[in-house]
Structure 1
Amino acid sequence: MKLFVGIDVSSKKLDVCFLDSEDTRLKEETLSNDINGASKIKESILAYNRQFHYEKIVIGMESTSVFSFHPATLMGDDKDLQRIGAEVVVQNPKAIYRFKGLFEEDKTDRIDAFRIADFLRFGRYNKTVIKEEKYMALQRLTRSRYQVIQQLTECKQHFLENLYYKCNTLSNEVDTSVFGSTMMELFADSFSLDDIAQMELQELALFLQKKGKGRFSDPEKLAKTIQKAIRDSYRLGKVMQDSVDIVLATYAKLIQTLKKQVKELEKGIEALFDILPEAQCLKSVPGIGPVYAAGIIAEIGQIERFETQAQLAKYAGLYWKKSQSGDFESERTPRVRTGNHYLRYYLVEAANSVQRNEPVYREFYLKKYKEVPKYQHKRALVMTARKLVRLVDVLLRNHQLYTPKRSVQPKSKIAFESFQQTRTSVPVIGRV
């Protein structure tokens, strides 16, 4: 006899159904989503087990944002439930949704709890290893960094849009970043276009050099370029000019604030990441620094959660479905639009950095880049990220450091045989 406990989780309550392997509903109830409600579920499980001595107990719930974290963690870490071999699984809501679609019935929380238990009873669920607290703590930081980066990108887009109103030829004439503190102060707050255009060249060059702390190699040339861009630009009326200046100043402050927050988050990420045993494994790959490595590991957690690198790739959404029927097999295999987008983001960003620093990955990237006429960079980068998944899986699973591909020229038969034995006993991880 087996026991299946389905829990439908919401922010305030836990709807739970106790179902045995004979399809008998032992109990259905609604409890509060807090430590008291979760503890009552635990006590009911222990009581039923004392009565029926189940050979297997599975507790399942959907992964519902932050709401399922506390009950899943509490039950997964509970010593009494571990002692009787209770398994806690957190399932993809889409899998449960498809299963529910097989039945013509109402949609209520209590019915949802029963269908979750019923789904577990069929045994088609994915086994889940609940992430340890250290990975979840790191995940809070890496996901927040991702979200702040998205906000920063959006603010920069709005800043550029309004800067075009003020000086439409600037981006064509000036080859330095407009998001440096010097350029943002120059165009967002300090001076009007006419003020900048009428300044002595030496005075503007001195301002740029002082605000830029000497980083401009030729401030006089930059000053001349800026003044030319201003002379070639359209002029706004005073009302429109005042509005644009206010918007530019607002976004300039937002961008500076968000940049500061990114740095603070990255400091926190590096401090927490260094205590993880997997840290050195990924940091040993050329191009992967602590932030990208932390983002990847925070989403993966224990690598034992995934049986193969293919499962890991599918979890990241780096997976292409086959389409085959009879003798026909489609050559078009679009990438699935599901998966963990945080993990995919950090894998793609890391792949872009690795292909610039590691010859093996650079060669692979260029090969994929040349295969198609459109979306070359985007496609090549995603394919490189998929290749990187294999490497990440090997390094984390074997607790190894990355070993670059080497070109070895044996000079004798003995040296060659020794070389072959070395390759057999210690595989070169760089060749994935």
Structure 2
Amino acid sequence: MKLTLFVGIDVSKASNHVYAMNLARDKLLSTLIPNTQDGAAIIESKLLELLNRHVLSKIIVILESTGVYSAHLATYLSNSKHLALFDSRVYIINPKISKNYRKSFADMDKTDPKDAFILADIARVGRTSELTPFKGAQRLALERLTRHRLHIAELLSTEKVYALNNVFLKFSEFETLFSDNFGKTAVELLLEYKTIDDIIESPLEELAQFITKSSKNGFSDSIDMASKIQAAARASYRLDQIAYNPINLSLASSINVINCYEAEMKEIDKAIKRQVVGFNQNHYTVLMSIPGIGKVYAAGILAEIADINQFESDDALAKYAGITWRKTQSGKFDADDTRLTKTGNKYLRYFIIQAANIARQNIPEYRDFYQKKFNEVTTHQHKRALALTSRKLIRLIYGLLSANRLFQ
């Protein structure tokens, strides 16, 4: 440690404040440098100059996680061949770590130079021993892919909701027929039959043949399904003939968009599975051991958590994900209906909630827990039960990753 250079970098969009010290806490550098490619090269050269001038053999650099602003500099420094000669380690830490550490400096002002000093001092006191070094472009690439997946998923969900509005106008009882409103048979029925009357007036056997062909014999009794479709059509509202053509055009367009998004999702999933290989393989294997989570959600959780040692407890991880609840109380009244804070990492929250939804279908303990919470209230049953199941899953994830052991 005596031969180590400790560096803290307070990152903002426009600039980086760099603070460097030795083990004795002597200030060796405190300077403001632009957050640009040229600025990163300047930081590299200044650090190399300090290492050589003070005859140091190791360097530890700490930055806070500040969204995309810290990614470029962390990648640049962690990939520096010149700094690698000095056994360099670059860490991106949760801001809560530096916030908590700052409390030991009660009278310190909060300024950029002081923030950089705090980060350097965290390195000096050895707090990085439990952290995983930044893996540069690999983690950034995985994070970009998993976050883009959420972006596509949100667009897909929005388009489906929009399409279902047109479906209701065309065929108001349609949603009572299929478990998947955008399955192959459901979509082909909407596109093939232009009006409700076309379905009603179609011979039952002809409609049954259409169902058999479109579903590839997916229904055990196609005649019965055809009868249900015609019954739903008779129970549906009618529109003036002039309204059907615009609605059909809008539906066809939405279905094309939905198909495009779903195809893109499959390609992104393949890319995620390729990218995650070799990235914190132990923790990836641990997440994969939880029944039903799968490669994509495990990769998404891993990309957002990065290093479980950044979190003091499962409560801290839950707060980071925004899966905590605001308490609503007045006098002796405690509200049963409380809202998620949703102030944390929305990407991590998405992947954990999706994973919890799968876990409850594959792990009996989680299925029973979900059902118990579902039955406790009469409003928002699924959302509440799934959120509470997600919180339970966070405890499991934190425990397994912290102990580095597989689910049993």
**For this structure pair, what is the TM-score category when the shorter chain's length is used for normalisation?**
0.7 to 0.9
**Structure 1: 5+ residue stretches without partners:** 100-110, 404-432
Three-state SS of the structure 2 residue aligned to 1:145 is: helix
Q: Which residue of 1 aligns with 2:220?
A: 217
User: 2:172 is matched with which residue?
Assistant: 168
1:28 partner letter: L
**Structure 2 partner of 1:44:** 46
Task: Indicate whether 1:138 and 2:138 are aligned.
Answer: no
CA RMSD of aligned residues (A): 4.1
C-alpha deviation, 1:220, in angstroms? 1.5
- Alignment partners' CA distance in 1, 2:270 and 2:165: 31
Q: TM-score of the superposition, structure 1-length normalised?
A: 0.73
Q: CA deviation at 1:154?
A: 1.0
C-alpha contact 1:320 1:336 (8 A) present in aligned 2: yes
Cα distance change, pair 129–113 in 1 and its aligned pair in 2 (3 A)? farther
Q: Distance in 2 between matches of 1:138 and 1:66?
A: 13
Moved more, 17-26 or 372-381: 17-26
The range that moved more, 80-89 or 302-311, is 80-89
1:74 to 73, 76, 90: 76
TM-aligned CA distance change 1:391 to 1:59, over 3 Å = same
- CA distance in 2: counterparts of 1:397 and 1:368, whole angstroms: 27
Q: Deviations over 1:237-294 (max 9, x none)?
A: 3443222111101011111222222222223333444653444323322232222222
Unaligned runs of 5+ in 2: 103-109
Using the alignment, how far apart are the partners of 2:335 and 2:203 within structure 1? 63
Secondary structure, in 3 states, of the residue corresponding to 1:395? helix
Q: Which amino acid aligns with 2:271?
A: G
Residue range with higher mean Cα deviation, 20-29 or 386-395: 20-29
Supply the distance in 1 between the matched residues of 2:87 and 2:11 (Cα, whole angstroms): 23
The structural deviation recorded for 1:50 is 5.2
Match of 2:351 in 1: 346
The answer to whether the 8 Å contact 2:291/2:359 transfers is: yes
Match of 2:295 among 286, 290, 293: 290
Aligned with 1:28: secondary structure? strand
Question: Equivalent of 1:390, from 379, 389, 395?
Answer: 395
Q: Describe how 1:23-62 pairs up with structure 2 within 5 A.
A: 26-30=30-34, 33-34=36-37, 36-48=38-50
Q: 1:39 to 1:139 in 2, by over 3 A?
A: same
How many residues are treated as equivalent by the alignment? 382
2:360 is aligned to 355
Question: More deviation in 360-369 or 111-120?
Answer: 111-120
Bigger mean CA offset, 267-276 vs 111-120: 111-120
Which residue of structure 2 lines up, in the alignment, with residue 117 of structure 1? 116
Q: Deviations over 1:355-382 (max 9, x none)?
A: 2222222333344444555434323322
Instruction: Say yes or no: does 1:228 pair with 2:231.
Output: yes
More displaced stretch, 393-402 vs 112-121: 112-121
1:420-431 pair list within 5 angstroms: none
Distance in 1 between residues matched to 2:315 and 2:261, nearest whole Å? 36
Give the % identical residues.
Answer: 33
Q: CA shift at 1:84, angstroms?
A: 7.6
Aligned equivalent of 1:317: 322
CA drift of 1:141 comes to 2.8
Deviations 1:92-133 (A, max 9, x none): 49x99xx9xxxxxxxxxxx98546436647869996745424
Bigger mean CA deviation after superposition, 14-23 or 199-208:
14-23
Question: How far apart are the structure 2 equivalents of 1:255 and 1:378?
Answer: 25
